[in-house]
């Protein structure tokens, strides 16, 4: 989680109610002119119909991209192979923070744009006040700003990175957790950290809401496993946007067949611990632990195993996650924390960083493809920023070329059920219950878990 150096980002000014209303009026005008005239979108002079985009993938990357394309005036169809709950996006911590992703030169601006997008969506509510959610926007209730503490073991404090939230600050020594427990149990040492506020997204509800927003805007969804990007529906699409994550791995022999793509497996435990209202992260050499509060649970993490494809949660790992959390989090936070479930997923990581670019002739058949995959542990963090960049490329595509001619090709569709599941939940099965009881017992028995009552005031949600 190294933070590249650069200047502090500028602050974000809150919008007044008046400006919000004015902006909404402007937005309404744009939408009305679209549907009534059926004209091309702003900046797209060609053709008499809307340009058509085919988005492959309905994870966080695909859905945000589909929505932004719609807002830019494209007709959108989303093709996806898996159900939502079988995706890594569904179980993701949803915490805004660039993590396990390469190439900060590109990730930084994507992350910053995404932070701004979450914030402006929250502030678009006339009822916005710090710490509240925006119930006016579908899915708005799933996004909340949280206080965050990130600890590390860096020998020297780097400057505040250029993608940092405006309030990011270095932590004082009095804010660092007591070092003795961690050092005694794990031989690790926290040297410093950062404090800031950041969006935390409750992914299951948020994905549902994004999907609904795309559907409400006239977007279509098709559940079908593609063997080729050029087979994506509809066949008259002017541009195909590839947001298929690990579906592009060469192991599956389909889509982009990208040798730079690889999975980073991660496992988490969902617990009931209502007093955890802050995000805590320890990213130390040989020791990772974090707690991300959601409305219904706290997500306790985590692990990161390169090139590991097994998506089933593992009992030993779950135990280790809980023990590390008990050693790291403020005393008493994990006492009696009821285990609600286990989840593991595969981060779509890519050597050299996420691929976001135009691929003019992916198979020599003349269909334009924009790739957007390989966001590793930062797919949510980069989502809106990447979607904006994809839209800019797509606009250029339809501006420079005549509208595409319909090209039906249904002959080579493969409906085989060899889907790329990227996430697995264990909630209600018998094995999950056994695992839960067993871990609870072993954590309570002692291990490294401290058991005294909380010694400090519990933080309140602002």
Ligand X SMILES: Cc1cc2nc3c(=O)[nH]c(=O)nc-3n(C[C@H](O)[C@H](O)[C@H](O)COP(=O)(O)OP(=O)(O)OC[C@H]3O[C@@H](n4cnc5c(N)ncnc54)[C@H](O)[C@@H]3O)c2cc1C
Q: In the window 122-141, what residues touch ligand X (CB under 6 A)? A: none
Measured from the CB atom, the residue of 95 and 194 that comes closer to ligand X is: 95
- Give the integer Cα–Cα distance in Å for 144 and 94: 10
Q: Does 241 bind ligand X (CB under 6 A)?
A: no
In the list 247, 313, 332, 353, the residue contacting ligand X (rule: CB under 6 A) is: 247
Q: Could you say whether residue 353 binds ligand X (CB under 6 A)?
A: no
Task: Kindly state whether residue 165 participates in binding ligand X, applying the rule CB under 6 A.
Answer: no
CB < 8 Å & 24+ apart, contacts of 311-317: 311/265, 311/344, 311/345, 311/346, 311/421, 311/422, 311/423, 311/424, 312/344, 312/424, 312/426, 313/267, 313/342, 313/343, 313/344, 313/424, 313/426, 313/435, 314/267, 314/344, 315/435, 315/438, 315/439, 317/267
Using CB under 6 A as the binding rule, whether residue 373 contacts ligand X is answered as yes
Rounded Cα–Cα distance for residues 378 and 355 (Å): 13
Among 20, 44, 55, 62, interactor with ligand X by CB under 6 A: 62
Q: Per residue, what are the HEC states of the chain? A: CCCCCCCCCCCCCCCCHHHHHHHHHHHHHHHHHHHHHCCCCCCCCCCCCCCEEEEECCCHHHHHHHHHHHHCCCEEEEEECCCHHHCHHHHCCCECCCCCCCCHHHHHHHHHHHHHHHHHHHHCCCCCCCCCCCCCCCCHHHEEEEEEEEEECCCCCCCCCCCCCCCCEECCHHHCCCHHHHHHHHCCCCCEEEEEEEEEECHHHHHHHHHHHHHHCCCEEEECCCCCHHHCCCCCCCEEEECCHHHHEHHHCCCCCECCEEEEEEEEEEEECCCCCCEEEEEECCEEEEEEECCCCEEEECCCEECCCCCCCCHHHHHHHHHHHHHHCCCCCCCCCEEEEEEEEEEEEECCCCEEEEECCCCCCCCEEEEEECCHHHHHHHHHHHHHHHHHHHHHHHHHCCCCCCCCCCCCCCCCCCCCCCEEEECCCHHHHHHHHHHHHHHHHCCCCCCCCCCCCCCCCC
Residue 54 in the binding site for ligand X (CB under 6 A): no
Report the nearest approach of ligand X to the CB of residue 49 (Å). Answer: 26
- Binding residue for ligand X (CB under 6 A) from 50, 68, 80, 112? 80
381 binds ligand X (CB under 6 A): yes
Tokens linked to 201: 């997204």
Residue among 86 and 238 whose Cβ is closer to ligand X: 86
Residue from the set 40, 92, 134, 289 that interacts with ligand X by CB under 6 A: 92
Q: Which residue is nearest to ligand X (CB)?
A: 247
Q: How many residues bind ligand X (CB under 6 A)?
A: 44
Closer CB to ligand X, residue 79 or residue 134? Answer: 79
Instruction: Tell me: does residue 266 bind ligand X (CB under 6 A).
Output: yes
240 binding ligand X? (CB under 6 A): no
- Nearer to ligand X by Cβ, of 44 and 322: the residue is 322
Work out how close the CB of 9 gets to ligand X at its nearest, in angstroms, rounded to a whole number: 18
Residue closer to ligand X, measured from CB, 97 or 333: 97
- Please say which residue, 118 or 186, places its beta carbon nearer to ligand X: 118
Q: Contact with ligand X (CB under 6 A): which of 9, 44, 56, 69?
A: 56
Task: Kindly write out the interface string for residues 292-311 of this chain, putting x where it contacts ligand X by CB under 6 A and - elsewhere.
Answer: ---------xx---------
Residue 288 binding ligand X, by CB under 6 A: no
Q: How far is the CB of 214 from ligand X (least distance, A)?
A: 13
| Binding residue for ligand X, selected from 377, 404, 436, 450, defined by CB under 6 A | 377
Minimum CB–partner distance for residue 329 and ligand X (Å) = 17
Toward ligand X, which CB reaches closer, 20 or 233? 233
**Residue in 113, 237, 244, 398 binding ligand X, rule: CB under 6 A:** 244
- Which among 19-27, 52-60, 155-163, 178-186 is the span making contact with ligand X, rule CB under 6 A? 52-60
Q: Does 234 bind ligand X (CB under 6 A)?
A: no
Of residues 204-233, those binding ligand X (CB under 6 A): 225-226
Q: Which stretch in 29-37, 58-66, 174-182, 447-455 sits in contact with ligand X by CB under 6 A? A: 58-66
- Stretch touching ligand X by CB under 6 A, among 31-39, 324-332, 341-349, 360-368: 341-349
Q: Which residues bind ligand X (CB under 6 A)?
A: 56-62, 79-82, 87-89, 92-95, 225-226, 243-247, 254-255, 266, 268, 301-302, 345, 347-348, 373, 375-381, 420, 422
């Amino acid at each position: 989680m190294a933070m590249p150096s650069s200047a502090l980002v500028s602050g974000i000014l809150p919008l007044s109610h008046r400006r919000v209303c004015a902006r909404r009026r402007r937005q309404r005008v744009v939408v009305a002119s679209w549907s009534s005239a059926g004209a091309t979108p702003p900046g797209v002079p060609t053709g008499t119909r809307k340009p058509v985009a085919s988005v492959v993938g309905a994870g966080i990357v695909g859905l945000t991209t589909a929505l932004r394309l719609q807002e830019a005036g494209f007709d959108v169809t989303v093709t996806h192979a898996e159900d939502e709950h079988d995706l890594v996006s569904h179980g993701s911590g949803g915490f805004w923070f660039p993590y396990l992703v390469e190439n900060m030169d590109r990730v930084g601006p994507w992350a910053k744009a995404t932070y701004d997008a979450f914030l402006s969506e929250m502030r678009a509510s006339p009822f916005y006040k710090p710490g509240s959610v925006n119930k006016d926007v579908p899915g708005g209730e799933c996004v909340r700003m949280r206080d965050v503490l990130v600890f590390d073991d860096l020998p020297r404090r780097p400057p505040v990175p250029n993608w940092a939230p405006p309030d990011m600050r270095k932590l004082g020594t009095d804010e660092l957790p007591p070092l003795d427990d961690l050092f005694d149990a794990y031989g690790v040492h926290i040297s410093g950290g950062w404090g800031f506020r950041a969006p935390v997204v409750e992914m299951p509800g948020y994905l549902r809401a994004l999907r609904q927003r795309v559907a409400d805007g006239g977007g279509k969804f098709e559940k079908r496993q593609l063997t080729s990007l050029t087979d994506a529906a509809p066949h008259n699409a002017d541009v195909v946007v590839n947001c298929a994550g690990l579906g592009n791995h060469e192991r599956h022999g389909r889509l982009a067949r990208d040798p730079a793509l690889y999975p980073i497996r991660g496992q988490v435990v969902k617990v009931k611990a209502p007093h955890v209202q802050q995000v805590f992260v320890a990213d130390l050499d040989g020791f990772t632990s974090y707690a991300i509060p959601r409305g219904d649970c706290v997500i306790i993490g985590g692990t990161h195993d390169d090139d590991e494809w097994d998506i089933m949660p593992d009992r030993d790992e779950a135990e280790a996650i809980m023990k590390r959390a008990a050693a790291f989090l403020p005393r008493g936070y994990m006492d009696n924390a009821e285990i609600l479930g286990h989840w593991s997923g595969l981060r779509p990581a890519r050597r050299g960083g996420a691929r976001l670019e135009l691929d003019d002739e992916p198979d020599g058949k003349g269909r334009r493809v924009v790739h957007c995959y390989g966001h590793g542990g930062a797919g949510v963090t980069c989502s809106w920023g990447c979607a904006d960049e994809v839209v800019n490329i797509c606009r250029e595509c339809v501006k420079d070329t005549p509208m595409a001619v319909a090209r039906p090709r249904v002959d080579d569709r493969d409906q085989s059920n060899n889907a790329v599941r990227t996430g697995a939940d264990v909630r209600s099965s018998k094995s999950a219950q056994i695992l839960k009881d067993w871990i609870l017992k072993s954590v309570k028995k002692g291990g490294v878990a401290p058991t005294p009552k909380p010694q400090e005031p519990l933080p309140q949600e602002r």
